[in-house]
């Protein structure tokens, strides 16, 4: 069955380190998204992509970057991790631009 996966599911890192979170989908969806979820803030959009080689900044993009070299993957990189980036990160994908399917999430702790 087609699916969307994220890895790792849990990550602890130190301040200042570079961290990359993986997102892989097998639906062949053109649209992919990264959100962070914090208590009281719901889901906030970090970056998104509408296709290979396309990337766009979302509401809270500072300190994050993405690249899209193929349809299936949209890795999220924290260039220099900060404690404020401790959060749960969700990747999502969609085709028609409407219903978004979410991955299982990655819990990131920056110490």
User: Nearer to other proteins by C-beta: 48 or 81?
Assistant: 48
Q: What is the smallest separation between the CB atom of 35 and other proteins, expressed in angstroms?
A: 8
Q: Say if residues 80 and 63 touch (Cβ distance below 8 Å).
A: yes
Shortest distance in whole angstroms from residue 32 CB to other proteins: 10
Q: What are phi and psi of 61, to 5 degrees?
A: -90, -15
| Contact residue for other proteins among 3, 15, 17, 59 (CB under 8 A) | 59
Counting contacts by CB under 8 A, is residue 50 touching other proteins? yes
Q: How far apart are CA 39 and CA 18, in angstroms?
A: 24
User: In terms of DSSP H, where are the helices of 1-91?
Assistant: none
The token pair at 31 is 């649209």
Q: Does the protein bind other proteins through residue 105 (CB under 8 A)? A: yes
Pick from 104, 71, 86, 90: nearest CA to 19: 86
Q: Within a 10 A sphere around the Cβ of 101, how many other Cβ atoms?
A: 15
State the nearest-atom distance from the C-beta of 49 to other proteins, in Å: 10
Asked if 14 touches other proteins (CB under 8 A), the answer is no
Residues interacting with other proteins, by CB under 8 A?
A: 31, 33, 35, 40-45, 48, 50, 58-59, 90, 94, 97-105
């Amino acid at each position: 069955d087609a699916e969307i996966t994220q890895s790792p599911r849990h990550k602890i890192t130190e301040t200042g380190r570079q961290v990359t979170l993986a997102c892989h989908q097998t639906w062949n969806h053109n649209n992919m998204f990264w959100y962070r979820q914090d208590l009281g803030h719901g889901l906030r959009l970090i970056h998104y992509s509408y296709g290979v080689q396309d990337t766009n900044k979302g509401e809270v993009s500072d300190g994050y970057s993405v690249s899209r070299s193929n349809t299936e993957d949209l890795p999220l990189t924290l260039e220099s991790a900060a404690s404020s980036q401790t959060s749960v990160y969700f990747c999502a994908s969609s085709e028609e631009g409407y219903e978004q399917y979410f991955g299982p999430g990655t819990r990131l702790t920056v110490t």
